[in-house]
Amino acid sequence: MELFEAIERRHSYRGAYHDSPVPESDIRRIAQAGIQAPSGYNSQDTTFVIVDDRDLIAKIAAILGNTPVFRTAPLLIACIVEKEPQAPEGRMVFPIENCAAAVENMLLAATALGYASLWYDGSLRREGRNQAIGQLLGLQEGLVVQVLLPVGVPLESKAQAAKKSFSQRAWYNRHGT
In a domain, 177, yes or no: no
- How many domains in the chain? 1
Cα separation, 3 vs 39, in Å, equals 21
Cα separation, 110 vs 104, in Å, equals 10
Alpha helices (runs of H) in 114-153, residue ranges in sequence order? 129-136
In a domain, 154, yes or no: yes
In a domain, 160, yes or no: yes
Ordered per-residue pLDDT tens for the chain, 177 residues: 899 999 999 999 999 999 999 999 999 999 999 999 999 999 999 999 999 999 999 999 999 999 999 999 999 999 999 988 787 787 888 999 999 999 999 999 999 999 999 999 989 999 999 999 999 999 999 999 999 999 999 999 988 899 999 999 999 999 988
Q: What is the pTM of this model?
A: 0.93
Cα separation, 149 vs 151, in Å, equals 6
In a domain, 71, yes or no: yes
Q: Are 74 and 21 in contact (CB under 8 A)?
A: yes
- How many beta carbons lie within 10 A of that of residue 64, not counting itself? 20
Return the CATH number at 135: 3.40.109.10
